[in-house]
């Protein structure tokens, strides 16, 4: 697969300058660096620098004076600071820059961010203390928990017309995933990702990626036999150290083998398909293809190993394209030249499915400026803006119209579009965080040989039943 080309250099610089201006980085006089200084700082030629500054001037953000330089327009800054602040809660990463750019010059954003594994507790604590944000970006698996406690504002209450637009244009996996009885739609999917198999193209020697577990095991054994000491055929997050990343990888393998964790009516984990999935992973470890130390990996370790040439394949997700680009120091558009991404091979219990995940946008009930938060939501999901972000990051747009627009110019999005049409979202429950921890413990117990696959599945199903209050349906 090939990734979409990055945004033009002038546009990326314009976004960066706008974010720096809004943050007040240019001192009391508001003077920006010269064109020569910007060229040197960002490694650009003069043409994109001149265009970025000219567009900011045309939009009234800066004023350019011959021989004196470029300055932030005081009137623009006054209008910006006079506008109400929209408090936004998000994870660390690129969210702040993306939302500031989507909001443009009309909305003033104030961010509180934390690492992904701390965001759920941060959000709950803010709500408990009566200081919930106006707008939040949270992991999609937490939505059921927040909705059960009525922490989120139904989107139709904010803008019924836009809620109808959402239902008409968003892809099937995302239309009903965040809709709850008596509340309707309470969250909207941000740029999405799908689970899959990343692989080093050179290691496969130009061969097609494996299509079945039998093919994957054969390939992994062959690669392990030739791997120098310290290098591995296949890695994945395998324990509690990687948190939700481990759960995502495991559930993706279950879905590829036709297995599920639970339904709204029952716990369905204890099935031959689940046992077969864990037995398959144990066999890969016995083959020397999957190292037992994956149980100690953190959430970024697998992608780092693939980028460094210490792993030939990883079980991961499409969003790791950005990580691979950063780790290898190459532009995102060139990542596909070295690494391929394919659906997870199908297990023997099919029919296989594709797991998708990612973050969602929501407006808490405690929002002080819900109408402005809705404006931000509309801006963040606008087709033109969504296409730009997904082209830049390699993520997948949840809107059908955007995916259709990207497909002709991006083979990566064209191929993943077919995956999304038949994808499933991660299982959702108010107690998902506790369920996720049990799945991580189950996988770690199997890979460390503390439990047999069958015993691990039976025990974990019992624990999830106790957590969710749902009966067990054994396969």
SS3 for 155?
A: helix
Q: 258 by DSSP, 3-state: which? A: coil
For the chain, what is the mean pLDDT? 90
Higher pLDDT, 116 or 365: 365
Pick from 61, 78, 95: which residue ends a domain?
Answer: 78
Query: Which of the residue ranges 265-269, 403-407, 412-416, 422-426 would you say has the lowest mean pLDDT?
Result: 412-416
**Per-residue pLDDT, 22:** 79
Query: What pLDDT score does 1 carry?
Result: 40
> In which band, very low, low, confident or very high, does the pLDDT at 3 lie, cut at 50, 70 and 90?
very low
CATH number of the domain residue 67 falls in:
1.10.10.10
Range(s) of the domain holding residue 137: 83-186+357-421
Claim to verify: residue 90 and residue 74 sit in the same structural domain: no
Segment holding 35, helix H or strand E: helix 35-42
Percentage with pLDDT > 90 across the chain: 64
Mean pLDDT calculated for residue range 303-315: 96
Residue partners of 124: CB distance under 8 A and separation at least 6: none
Per the structure, how many domains does the chain have? Answer: 3
pLDDT value at 82 more than 80: no
Instruction: Decide if 319 contacts 358 (C-beta within 8 A).
Output: yes
Query: Which among 278-292, 318-332, 394-408 has the top mean pLDDT?
Result: 278-292
Residues 413 and 436 in one domain: no
Q: Which pLDDT does position 422 carry in this prediction?
A: 67
What is the spatial distance between Cα 425 and Cα 451, in angstroms, rounded to a whole number? 28
Q: Is residue 340 part of a domain?
A: yes
Burial of 47 (0-12, 13-18, 19+ CB in 10 A): exposed
In this structure, are 332 and 381 located in the same domain?
no
The answer to whether residue 390 scores a pLDDT higher than 90 is no
Supply the pLDDT for residue 306: 97
Shared-domain flag, residues 122 and 28? no
Structural domain includes residue 41: yes
Could you tell me if 408 and 457 lie in one domain?
Answer: no
298 and 412 in a single domain? The answer is no
Q: How far apart are CA 114 and CA 124, in angstroms?
A: 13
Separation of alpha carbons 406 and 387, rounded Å: 7
Contacts 24+ apart (CB under 8 A), 215-218: 215/345, 216/345, 217/280, 217/283, 217/284, 217/287, 217/289
* Alpha helix (H) residue ranges in 339-399: 370-380, 383-393
Do the strands 232-235 and 188-200 form a parallel or antiparallel pair, or are they unpaired?
unpaired
- How large is the average pLDDT for residues 268-274? 97
Do 22 and 112 reside in the same domain of the chain? no
Question: Please, are residues 357 and 195 in contact by the beta-carbon 8 Å criterion?
Answer: yes
State in Å, rounded, how far the first CA of the chain is from the last one.
Answer: 37
Are residues 144 and 261 located together in one domain of the fold? no
pLDDT digits 0-9 by tens, 114-160: 988 899 999 999 999 999 999 999 999 999 999 999 999 999 999 99
Element (H, E) at 335: helix 332-338
In a domain, 4, yes or no: no
Closest CA to 148 of 119, 121, 181: 181
Question: Is there a domain that residue 473 lies in?
Answer: no
Tell whether 299 and 399 lie within a shared domain.
Answer: no
Query: Is the distance from CB of 174 to CB of 186 less than 8 angstroms?
Result: no
**Which of 46-60, 301-315, 388-402, 431-445 bottoms out in mean pLDDT, i.e. has the lowest?**
388-402
On whether the CB atoms of residues 23 and 110 are closer than 8 A, the answer is no
- The rounded distance, in Å, linking the Cα atoms of 309 and 416 is 25
Query: Do 448 and 365 share a structural domain?
Result: no
Please check whether residue 77 is in contact with residue 38, taking contact to mean a CB–CB distance below 8 angstroms: no
Looking at 27, 49, 78, which one is the last position of a domain? 78
Q: How far is CA 338 from the centre of its chain?
A: 22
Task: Tell me the mean pLDDT in the region 313-330.
Answer: 90
Residue 450: band (very low, low, confident or very high) from pLDDT cuts 50, 70, 90: very high
What is residue 339's three-state secondary structure?
strand
Asked if 398 and 417 sit in the same domain, the reply is yes
Query: Is residue 128 a part of any domain in this protein?
Result: yes
Contact assessment for residue 303 and residue 316, using Cβ atoms and an 8 Å cutoff: yes
Is the model's pLDDT at 49 over the cut of 90?
Answer: yes
User: Is 325 part of any domain?
Assistant: yes
Domain holding 237: CATH number?
3.40.190.10
Asked if residue 59 belongs to a domain, the reply is: yes
Q: Is-contact 303 288, C-beta < 8 A?
A: no
> For residue 193, what are its two tokens?
């990702």
**Domain annotation covers residue 161:** yes
Domain match, 333 and 249 both: yes
Final residue of a structural domain among 78, 109, 133? 78
Instruction: Give the number of other Cβ atoms within 10 Å of residue 235's Cβ.
Output: 25
């Amino acid at each position: 697969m090939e990734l979409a080309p990055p945004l033009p250099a002038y546009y990326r610089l314009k976004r960066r300058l706008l974010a720096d201006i809004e943050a007040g980085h240019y001192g009391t006089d508001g003077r920006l660096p010269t064109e020569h200084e910007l060229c040197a700082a960002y490694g650009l030629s003069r043409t994109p620098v001149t265009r970025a500054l000219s567009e900011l001037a045309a939009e009234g953000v800066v004023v350019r004076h011959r021989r004196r330089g470029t300055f932030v327009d005081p009137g623009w800054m006054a209008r910006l600071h006079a506008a109400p602040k929209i408090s936004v809660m998000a994870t660390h990463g690129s969210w702040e820059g993306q939302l500031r750019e989507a909001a443009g010059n009309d909305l003033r954003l104030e961010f509180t961010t934390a690492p992904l594994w701390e965001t759920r507790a941060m959000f709950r604590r803010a709500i408990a203390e009566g200081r919930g944000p106006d707008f939040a970006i949270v992991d999609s698996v937490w939505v059921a928990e927040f909705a059960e406690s009525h922490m989120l504002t139904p989107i139709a209450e904010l803008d019924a017309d836009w809620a109808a637009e959402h239902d008409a244009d968003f892809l099937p996996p995302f239309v009903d995933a965040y809709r709850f009885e008596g509340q309707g739609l309470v969250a909207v999917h941000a740029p999405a990702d799908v689970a899959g198999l990343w692989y080093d193209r050179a290691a496969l020697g130009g061969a097609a990626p494996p299509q079945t577990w039998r093919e994957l095991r054969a390939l992994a054994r062959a690669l392990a036999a030739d791997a120098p000491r310290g290098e591995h055929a296949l890695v994945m997050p395998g324990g509690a150290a990687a948190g939700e990343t481990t759960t995502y990888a495991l559930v993706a393998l279950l879905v590829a083998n036709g297995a599920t964790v639970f339904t709204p009516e029952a716990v369905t984990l204890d099935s031959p398909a689940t046992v077969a999935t864990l037995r398959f992973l144990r066999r890969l470890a016995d083959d020397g293809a999957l190292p037992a130390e994956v149980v100690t990996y953190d959430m970024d370790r697998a992608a780092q190993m693939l980028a460094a040439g210490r792993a030939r394949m990883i079980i991961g997700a499409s969003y790791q394209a950005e990580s691979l680009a950063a780790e290898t120091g190459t532009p995102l558009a060139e990542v596909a030249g070295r690494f391929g991404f394919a659906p997870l091979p199908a297990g023997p219990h099919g029919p296989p499915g594709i797991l998708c995940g990612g973050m969602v946008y929501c407006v808490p009930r405690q929002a002080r400026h819900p109408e402005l938060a809705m404006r931000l939501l509309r801006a963040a999901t606008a087709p033109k803006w969504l296409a730009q972000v997904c082209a830049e990051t390699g993520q997948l747009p949840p809107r059908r119209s955007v995916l259709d627009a990207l497909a002709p110019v991006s083979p990566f999005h064209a191929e993943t579009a077919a995956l999304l049409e038949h994808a499933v979202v991660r299982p959702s429950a108010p107690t998902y965080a506790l369920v996720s921890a049990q799945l991580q413990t189950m996988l770690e117990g199997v890979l460390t040989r503390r439990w047999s696959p069958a015993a691990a599945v039976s025990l974990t199903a019992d624990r999830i039943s106790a957590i969710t209050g749902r009966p067990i349906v054994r396969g």
